[in-house]
Structure formats: C-alpha cells, structure tokens
Amino acid sequence: MHTYDMIINGRAVPGAATFEVVNPATGAPFARVAAGDASHVDAAVEAARAAFPAWSRTPDERRQALIGQLADLLETHMAELMELLTRESGKPLIGLDGIGSQMEVGGAIAWTRVTGGLSLPVEVIQDDAEARVEVHRKPLGVVGSITPWNWPLMIAIWHVIPALRAGNTVVLKPAEATPVATARFVALANGILPPGVLNVVTGTHGSGIGSAIAGHPGIDKIVFTGSTPTGKRIMGAAAGNLKRLTLELGGNDAGIVLPDVDPAAVARKIFKAAFHNNGQTCACLKRLYVHESLYEALCNALAAQARAVVVGDGMCEGTELGPLQNEEQRRIVQALADDARARGARLLAGGGPIAGPGYFFQPTIVADLSNGTPLVDEEQFGPILPVIRYRDIDEAIALANDNPNGLGGSIWSNDIALASTLARRLECGTAWVNEHGAIQPDAPFGGVKQSGIGVEFGLHGLAEYTSLQTVKIMKC
C-alpha cells in the first residue's frame, strides 16, 4: 500500500503518523497518506511567503509557460490520475455519458490551459496632458485552498491555477476522504514549480488543518468549495486579518420543465444532469418541477432511466454510476428516502442500498412531494431526485426560488425565447436553458444567497486572486 507524503517547500514531508484512504467500491483501504497538523500549516505558509516575492515578480510569459507545463504534466499522467481518482472517489473511469474520472482529469487539463492563457492587462482610466491614471491588478500573497471530496483533483485545479497565474503562492488542503490524486499532482508539479510556490498539507478531520488555514495571519485569501455551514465557519475565522474569500457552497438546484416538452426526448438529459457522479456535484439538478400535463409521463421516463443505469465498481468497464463516496453520505440519502416514503411519496425506482461491499445506493426517483419536505428543501448530494408537480409557471418560479441556496437552475422548453426570459427570473448564479450543470473555463461560475461569495473561472474568476492598485501619474 503506497504512502503519499505532504509537499512543503518543494520537499516530501511525512507526518508523525498516517491515515488510510478507503476505496468506496470495496470499503477497504488502498492507500496511506501523511497525517499533518497545524504545525505543518505553519511550515507551508512560511515556505509560501518566502517564495511569493520571486514568484510574483516572475515575468508574466514565464508564469504562463510553467502553467502550460503543468497541463502537459496532467496529460502525461492522465491514466495514473484517473485510476487514483476512481479508487478514492468511487466515480467510474468513464461514467454516465462520459462523466467520470476521465472527464475529471480532462477537465483539469482544459481548465489549466485556458486559465494559463488568461491575462489582466493594465486598465487606463485617463491619459491626457494633465495626468495618466492606470489600474493595475496585483497578486494578493498566499492563497489557502480547501477542497472537497466529490471532484478532488479538478476543484484543486480550479483553485490553484488561477492563484498561480495571478502570481500568488498556495497552501492546499485536500479532503481527508480523497487526498491521493491531489497529493500526487502536487508532488509532480513541484518538479516544475519553484520550491514553496505550491504546497499541500494533508490530515484527518480532527487535525485542525482547515481551521489553521482559515485563521492563519500569513494567508491572504481563502478559496473553499464545500458545505454552507463550513463556509460560514471559514468566513468567521478569516475575519482576523480580513482575508479575501471565494466560497462555492451548497446548492439545491431546481429545474423547471414547461408543458411544451416531450418527456421521452428530455428524460435522458435530465437524468444525466441529476445523477452524474451519483448526484454528488454541487451543480447537479436536485429538484425537478414538472407541469402537471406531462408529470406522470416524465416521472415514468426518469424511473426507467434509473432502473436501466449500470451501477458498479468504477474500475469495471461499462459502469455508469459508482458508489457514494462514503458511508455517512449513504446514510443521509437513505434517511431522506425513508422520510419521503413515510410522507406518502411514491418511490418509482430505487429507494435503498445495494447489497454487498461498498457504499452503493439504488438510483431513486421520488414523486408526489412538495416544498416543505426534507428531500425537496435540503441538498441530498446523492442518487435521489424528487419530482414536484406544478400548475402554472409563476408558481414554479416561486417554488424554485423558495430556497436559501442559489447556485444554479434551469428551464426546459422548446420555446427558447420564453425559456431564456424565465431563466433570468431564477435566483441563482448560473441559469441554463435545456441543460443543467454544464460549466466551462472561460465563463464565471458562482452562487448567490447562501451558495457562496465570489466567482470562479475566466477573467472574472482570475480577478478574484488580485487586488486593485490605482496609479496616478501627474504630467504637469
């Protein structure tokens, strides 16, 4: 069983102990990882601060070239990283409609290349006989990155690459459940980057590493992807030195299907939007509002998809959905299914665990619930979808917006003009028409309400890793 060390100041650093990483398809450990603590955060921050002056002054073209080499590195090690991701997260190598570990590494490569090619030029506000006024974007310093277990490598890339591109240095903490592919990437990247520019500190939930990063006076910005309660705690801890924050938090995305839709034509696409990665994606479709005229037909079509999808070990060819990543998440999904059943909902497919080793759960479609019930109101983060009936579109928009989260939402219709108008009425950071969850590295992504602060991706996301400096040059 291989042991993965921390990387601090360009060197492998073991912990005083290690912890095991479990393959959720088997329930058995497959790797060990160094168990760090707050002292390792201190060392990593010290290394990052020492590396920052030289890295921030590195010519822009040189930083771009090094980030391009990181993309090449990901591509060279794609097969290795795919296997590590599947073993630690459970997602299939290929997955439902191609959404699996291959897509995660491929997405990491794409985000690295696109972000590496972005730039934030000097903005000239005034240039006349009296004065020249310039607005410059400057790196912040040390960025602390805390990543979740659902898309561990790709989200690490989302955090790390724009930070490096802007001239910052990074201290990265991956989730305890899925640290392996990220630790491997950081080890590889340190063969390219100067020492201290990218550091990784690993540890268990009780190690205090996350709290140490959030409150550390030597860290200038926190970027975090995860739950809203944890994001609130990070926000409080970051107040000590007024850290900048980018928080991509919980989502309970609603989709609305208008009465002009053919249920058979959209069922597969809606199913994929809700169930890829076993529903363990912040921007999965998690509540589906369907007009009463086609409610039964679409419910039945989705249930047929759920019964037909291939669930199994992600390392096996043909697997579309793997296990849930951990047993705790499976218990949450089971509790929501049991509560729905007790409230008189119809479970049209699934509803329980799959016998055998691992954390498998049947893909589940639930009918006849409404707002005000846990499965509708709470983010399930698993393979279970409530389908809610509505009568008119104003009612559907009100129901979709009746939630503290506001990450994404979608409208499904053959009338593109109407759907686009309705999409803008959704209270969410990204609204899709006839799609849900599709993101790209050049378009900003983030939440409103309690789904987060700030955005990622593209020029808007890159700017969040900088501070503004106005320079006024008098000419007379």
When pLDDT is averaged across residues 409-426 and rounded to a whole number, the result is 98
Tell me 242's DSSP state. T
When pLDDT is averaged across residues 458-464 and rounded to a whole number, the result is 98
When pLDDT is averaged across residues 464-473 and rounded to a whole number, the result is 98
Strand partners, 27: none
Q: What is the pLDDT of residues 246-265, one digit of tens each?
A: 999 999 999 999 999 999 99
Whole-number pLDDT of residue 308 = 98
Assign 307 to helix, strand or coil: helix
pLDDT band at 50 (very low <50, low <70, confident <90, very high): very high
Measured CA angle at 207 (ends 206, 210), to 5 deg: 95
Q: Does residue 440 have a pLDDT over 90?
A: yes
CA distance 371 to 365: 16
When pLDDT is averaged across residues 319-346 and rounded to a whole number, the result is 98
- The domain spans of the chain are 2-249+451-474, 253-440
C-alpha dihedral sign at 212, 214, 216, 221 = positive
Whole-number pLDDT of residue 240 = 95
When pLDDT is averaged across residues 291-308 and rounded to a whole number, the result is 98
Q: Do domains 2-249+451-474 and 253-440 have the same CATH topology?
A: no
CA distance 381 to 282: 8
Q: Which tokens belong to 239?
A: 């107040």
Give the H/E segment covering residue 129.
none
- CB atoms under 10 Å from CB of 235, counted, come to 17
| Residue percentage of the chain with pLDDT more than 70 | 100
Asked if residues 137 and 216 have their Cβ atoms less than 8 Å apart, the reply is: no
Is residue 116 exposed (0-12), middle (13-18) or buried (19+ Cβ within 10 Å)? buried
- pTM as predicted: 0.97
Question: What's domain 253-440's superfamily in CATH?
Answer: Aldehyde Dehydrogenase; Chain A, domain 2 (3.40.309.10)
Q: Does residue 310 have a pLDDT over 90?
A: yes
Mean model confidence pLDDT for the chain: 98
When pLDDT is averaged across residues 114-130 and rounded to a whole number, the result is 97
Q: Is 2-249+451-474 in CATH node 3.40.605.10? A: yes
pLDDT band at 476 (very low <50, low <70, confident <90, very high): confident
Q: Does residue 344 have a pLDDT over 90?
A: yes
Which active-site residues does the annotation give?
248
